[in-house]
Amino acid sequence: MIETGIPRLDDFLGGGIPTGKTLLYYIEPGVEGDVFGMQTLYHNLEKGYRGLFITSTTAPEILRESFKELGFDMSRFGDNFAIVDAYSGIIGSTSDERYVIEDPSNPSHIDEVISAAIEEFSGGTITFGSLSTIIDMVGEEKALEYIIKWNKYALIYDTVGIYNFTAWPYSPETLEKIKNEIFNAVIKVGGISKRVVYGQYYGILRVDWTEKVEKAILFKLVRPGGIKAFIPKILVTGPFNAGKSTFVHALSTRAVSVDRLGTTVALDHGYVEHKGFSADIFGTPGQERFDPIIKLLGGEALGVFLIVDSTRPEDFPRAVKMLEMTSRFGLPYVIVANKQDIKGALSPEEIGKMLNVHEEAPVVPAVTTRKEGVFEAFEILIDMVTGG
């Protein structure tokens, strides 16, 4: 098995990609999808596998630069990494790369170089930086013929084939074959758009070695950092003094609070990066006079943390009311049973019962002042939001 190195995707694929199989990133035009193949390559080089990258849209030096911008330093891998230069030939310049397609107008020459490279990199990964350009070079029919052949080669040589493919308006037959026939797995990388793309996502279109998971994951491209699953907004709510601000700060890579005399008067804001996920966290004030703000904040959130002081059951009715205000649209939520370090703290089970909310709502014990339970709670909510 080889991993994709894309957040959550490996879980969805039953652990990753079995050797000899192929995976294609099916990228909607206009979406920053090329990084997917690059990240998968880099992830596997880091794991010690050998990897090839076929470049057909940029010169090798520029490609190395783009890797570097993502925080992927390719010079570390020595001979384990090689580029198949399918670009220099197009613009008529020379190349120092190990594999060079000197005459990209000659399909059988392309085939020869790529086949030889697959053979030499047996047991590793081979990434096609842009299958679409190869199709443009040799034509749709010929390209499909060769891809089928290369995929067979990959199978024989235990190589995993990774393809970036931008779904330009090719013929419906070609697109259909690419989507449903030729590759063992197809991952859709798409955009959520209204005139402009304001969100990007990925999800499985097809996989032939495990059950297909019908979930989409939002992502952001971070430089450096690569593909990060992105949860636009998570709310942290709960009664006065429960530990919301402490929770936001414990979780966040950076955070600010607007407090006066130790209580939050506007909101807490934090930004979290953890295990491939990034999220903006908004903490609400606890006092009732700020309830209008909570209603405002709730609108676009995708998940909620409800923080309760485990020693103050008298505040639980208020906690339930706040949960109703924030997650009335059925948002997933996690209850954080805070201040477990104080004597007499109720257990998570007792708190779950007393709050009398949804039976399966997770209750996570925490001591936020010591950062205990904070990331556990985050991981559980992320799983719920991304359908893990």
Ligand X SMILES: Nc1nc2c(ncn2[C@@H]2O[C@H](COP(=O)(O)OP(=O)(O)OP(=O)(O)O)[C@@H](O)[C@H]2O)c(=O)[nH]1
Chain residues that interact with ligand X, rule: CB under 6 A: 238, 240-246, 263-264, 285-286, 338-339, 341-342, 367-369
Residue 153 CA to residue 124 CA, distance in Å, equals 12
* Binding-site partner at residue 133 among Mg ion, ligand X, none, CB < 5 to 8 Å by type: none
**Do 44 and 210 meet the contact criterion of CB atoms below 8 Å apart?**
no
CB nearer Mg ion, residue 8 or residue 312: 312
CB nearer Mg ion, residue 19 or residue 245: 245
Interface pattern 223-262 for Mg ion (x via CB under 5 A): ---------------------xx-----------------
Give Cα separations from 277 to 47, 204, 337 (angstroms). 20, 18, 23
* Binding-site partner at residue 1 among Mg ion, ligand X, none, CB < 5 to 8 Å by type: none
Note the helical H segments in 202-344: 244-251, 291-298, 316-326
**164 near Mg ion, judged by CB under 5 A:** no
* Binding-site partner at residue 369 among Mg ion, ligand X, none, CB < 5 to 8 Å by type: ligand X
Cross-strand bridge partners of residue 218: 201
Among 164, 252, 264, 310, indicate the residue that binds Mg ion (CB under 5 A). Answer: 264
Nearest approach, Cβ of residue 257 and ligand X (Å): 8
* Binding-site partner at residue 242 among ligand X, Mg ion, none, CB < 5 to 8 Å by type: ligand X
CB nearer ligand X, residue 88 or residue 368: 368
Helix (H, G, I), strand (E, B) or coil at 219: strand
Location of structure tokens 């030889």: 116
Token digits for 320?
């339930």
Helix (H, G, I), strand (E, B) or coil at 277: strand
**Do 317 and 259 meet the contact criterion of CB atoms below 8 Å apart?**
no
CB nearer ligand X, residue 167 or residue 367: 367
Residue 137 CA to residue 85 CA, distance in Å, equals 14
CB nearer ligand X, residue 186 or residue 381: 381
Residue nearest to ligand X (CB): 286
DSSP for 235-250, written as a single string:
EEE-STTSSHHHHHHH
Positions that interact with Mg ion (CB under 5 A): 244-245, 264
